[in-house]
Amino acid sequence: MTSKSVTRILLTLACLVCSVPVRGGEGVPPLRVAGILPAVRGQDARATEDEAKMASPRTPYGVTTRRPNIVLILADDLGYETIGANGGTSYRTPVLDRLAATGIRFTHCYVQPLCTPTRVQLMTGRYNVRNYINFGNMDPQAVTFGSLLKPAGYATCIAGKWQLGQDIELPKKFGFDEYCLWQHTRRPPRYANPGLEINGVKKDYANGEYGPDLVNDYALDFITRKRDGPFFLYYPMMLTHDPYQPTPDSPDWDPKAQGEQVNRDAKHFGDMVAYMDKLIGKLVARLDSLGIRDNTLLIFVGDNGTGRGTRSMMGDRLVIGGKSLTTDAGMHVPLIASWPGRITGRRVCADLVDSTDFLPTFLQAAGVTPPSGLKLDGRTFLPQILGAQGQPRDWVYSWYSPRQTADMTVREFAFNLRYKLYRSGEFFDLTKDMEEKQPLTVASLNGEAAKTAKMLQSALDQFKDARPSGLDRAFEEVNQGKAKEQKATRKAKRKDKR
């Protein structure tokens, strides 16, 4: 089954996945641009007193008519424990530490355990149960933060890792004016002597270039060209994903290295973390030099836990990377926000945040009201960024089924700061059992635990029928097509051997 065939199947699902009509996969319903966005639908649609205050442009929390630039930096395979400001002691992250010291650091941000599931939630503001199809693809008709900010007057760019489908038109369909991507229509090396695709043109490098440097250069060029704003830069970094290979700052850097199977060593992970931090520093410095940093909301977050088995220290505590696991080690990530013109002093926020919350946060910062027919699961955390109470989450929900193969197993659960309940009935006290090795039975609970189990069950019940059946049928069709192709290939090989 060709990529075009897969795309055709995905396109037929638009009416099941998206509750708003999108013409030709590109336009979005009319948007209203206002001084501030009213309460965004989520667990509780009630407007709070803080939001009422924010609605007035005269208050210190209001978003003025001068809309901010927005930069979202997404690190690849980087858990909470890796950042110095979070208490990590294994790696050097001075730039991120400074951003945290002058901005706001969130201590309880959770995403999906794997990259594509997180990216789909991040970009659409919707839980995977509603629109996730399979690993490496996103529904071509999905409404994203790019497709909502672009018609509101934002120049939009994505620079970094793609992994959302091979259709060459997808970045434009998802609302990005321009792009510099790795893993779009192919999968070349990403680090030493990489292959990229820049606005539809394939570029292969063989003179010692480093992929993350090239992408960073493009991002810096974009914000320089669009400095009069407003602009939206989505920067999903390739670092710090395996293979753990030397960076240009590593003692054993080899500018002649070819491919992703050479010079691999776990010791290079620390070098990659440091280099990631360095590149973020270059971006911050460019914003400063252009005189636009005060009016730029910059947010840094990880896409899932650190690579499986990667050992990191938080003082005397050992943390082992848990990417792809539904435990804390697979889902707990760093989240830091910087907006010098609006955030005064260092602050730490313990509210729950999940990956569906970023889209409504950006819309509120930009003063954009989402289309009335668009169902969002996320809730804005802009009030917390600006020093208000906001509407903190009571729980985080997850429907996790990565579908990298034909396996359709689903792990579905909800949790708060202390307790976690799976759809299967397993219940955990995370303060005593963070690795989830000793499940409790709901029937045996009492007091706070019993009360929380009831709340979490209510959260799960909200999504009992949220999955459009057509999504799973499409996934099965794709796998049946692949199976037929593989069978035909094997048959042809046997025939050739005769």
Structure tokens at 425: 């009935």
Residue 486 in any domain: the answer is no
> pLDDT digits over 286-306, tens only?
999 999 999 999 999 999 999
Residues 329 and 421 in one domain: no
Residues 446 and 328 in one domain: no
pLDDT over 70 percentage in the chain: 85
Residue 472 in any domain: the answer is no
Q: Give me the domain span that covers residue 264.
A: 3-35+65-398
Amino acid at 432: K
Residue 477, C-beta contacts closer than 8 angstroms, at least 6 positions apart: 9
Residues 312 and 448 in one domain: no
Is there a contact between 352 and 395 (Cβ–Cβ < 8 Å)? yes
- pLDDT on residue 464: 96
Task: Give the residue among 286, 298, 279, 260 at the shortest CA–CA distance from 212.
Answer: 279
Chosen domain end from 373, 398, 423? 398
69-75 and 231-236 beta bridge pairing: parallel
Q: Which helix (H) or strand (E) holds 483?
A: helix 469-497
Give the rounded distance of the alpha carbon of 9 from its chain centre: 25
Number of domains in the chain: 2
Residue 54 in any domain: the answer is no
Amino acid at 41: R
Structure tokens at 122: 């991040």
| Residues 306, 297: Cα–Cα separation, whole Å | 25
Task: Give the residue among 442, 417, 414, 419 at the shortest CA–CA distance from 429.
Answer: 419
| Residues 296, 69: Cα–Cα separation, whole Å | 5
| Residues 361, 351: Cα–Cα separation, whole Å | 14
Residue 404 in any domain: the answer is no
Residue 476 confidence class, pLDDT cut points 50, 70, 90? confident
CA torsion, ordered 18, 364, 114, 193, to nearest 10 deg: 110
231-236 and 296-302 beta bridge pairing: unpaired
Is there a contact between 40 and 363 (Cβ–Cβ < 8 Å)? yes
Residue 52 in any domain: the answer is no
> pLDDT digits over 114-127, tens only?
999 999 999 999 99
Residue 494 confidence class, pLDDT cut points 50, 70, 90? confident
| Residues 322, 435: Cα–Cα separation, whole Å | 10
> pLDDT digits over 344-360, tens only?
889 999 999 999 999 99
Residues 310 and 458 in one domain: no
| Residues 311, 40: Cα–Cα separation, whole Å | 39
Residues 138 and 215 in one domain: yes
Considering the chain, what is the average pLDDT of its residues?
A: 89
Residues 137 and 225 in one domain: yes
Enumerate helices (H) and strands (E) in the chain, giving the number of each.
15, 18
State the residue for tokens 């280099």: 275
Residue 280, C-beta contacts closer than 8 angstroms, at least 6 positions apart: 73, 95, 96, 99, 300
Residues 421 and 394 in one domain: no
Q: Is the pLDDT reported for residue 9 higher than 60?
A: no
β partners of residue 69 = 296
Note the pTM of the prediction, 2 decimals: 0.88
Residue 52, C-beta contacts closer than 8 angstroms, at least 6 positions apart: none
For 363-377, give one letter per residue: b (16+ CB within 10 A) or e.
Answer: bbbbbbbbbeebebb
Is there a contact between 329 and 79 (Cβ–Cβ < 8 Å)? yes
Residue 126 in any domain: the answer is yes
Residue 394 in any domain: the answer is yes
| Residues 69, 366: Cα–Cα separation, whole Å | 8
β partners of residue 347 = 104
Residue 182 in 3-state DSSP?
A: strand
Q: Tell me what the mean pLDDT of segment 318-338 comes to.
A: 98
Residues 343 and 216 in one domain: yes
Residue 48 in any domain: the answer is no
Chosen domain end from 398, 424, 457? 398
Distances (CA, A) of 257 to 208, 242, 272: 8, 16, 16
- pLDDT on residue 219: 98
- pLDDT on residue 51: 43
Residues 384 and 418 in one domain: no
Q: Which helix (H) or strand (E) holds 247?
A: none
Residues 384 and 438 in one domain: no
Residues 85 and 197 in one domain: yes
Q: What CATH number is given to the structural domain containing 115? A: 3.40.720.10
Residues 304 and 228 in one domain: yes
Q: How many CB atoms lie within 10 A of CB 319?
A: 22
Residue 158 has what DSSP assignment?
A: E
> pLDDT digits over 134-171, tens only?
999 999 999 999 999 999 999 999 999 999 999 999 99
